Amino acid sequence: MKHSAIGKCPILSTPAPAISLEVKRGGAARLAAAASRTILVVEDDRALRDLLRITLEGSGYTVLAAADAAEALRLAEPPGRAIALLVSDVTMPGMTGPDLARRLRAGRAGLEVLLVSGYSRDSQLLDTRVAFLQKPFRPQALTDMVRGLLDPDTAHSEE
C-alpha cells in the first residue's frame, strides 16, 4: 500500500489483467463474430459518439461514426458496404433518427436499428420494428442490447 502525498490517503494498486474482459468471459468466438459486423453510430454529441464507438469497438465490432444524418448517409453510401446495425440518437439536427432509419432500411434489407434518447416519451413514438435504449445507460447495457439484436441466439444462451 502506498500513501499519496496529498491528504495522505492510501492508494491501492493492483496489476491490470493481461487479457480483455470479453476473452476472459470465454468470448473469443463472440469477438471473432463481432469483427465481421459493422455498426453505424449516429450521435450529434461528440463525447457520447466517442463513448459509443469505443464501447462497441471494445466488443469487437467495426464502427462507422457520424455526427449527423447527412454524414451517416455518406458513410453508408459506398456500394457493397455492409452495415448490420444502425445506432442513432432519436433527435438530431437536420433529420431524426427514425427518418434516417427509414432511409437506410429502404436499401438494406435486414438492417437492425437501435435508437437512443434521453426522453422516455420518444420510445412511445417509435416504430415497433426498432429497439430503444433510454439515456443515460451503462456501456454494458449497450453491448447487451447490440448483441441481442445482432446475435439473438447467443445473447439468450448466455443469460
Encode pLDDT of 85-102 as tens digits: 999 999 999 999 999 999
Cell numbers representing residue 152 in the block? 439473438
pLDDT at 121: 75
> How is domain 29-152 classified at the CATH fold level?
Rossmann fold (3.40.50)
Identify the residue whose cell numbers are 457493397: 80
Cell numbers representing residue 121 in the block? 416519451
Query: Residue 68 above 90 pLDDT?
Result: yes
pLDDT at 83: 96
Identify the residue whose cell numbers are 427518418: 99
Query: Residue 143 above 70 pLDDT?
Result: yes
pLDDT tens for each residue of 7-40 = 444 333 333 333 334 444 545 555 555 667 999 9
End-to-end alpha-carbon separation of the chain, Å? 38
State the Cα angle at 80 between 77 and 81, rounded to 5°. Answer: 55
The helix (run of H) or strand (run of E) holding residue 11 is strand 10-11
Query: Residue 43 above 70 pLDDT?
Result: yes
* Helix 97-106 / helix 69-76 crossing angle, nearest 10 deg: 20
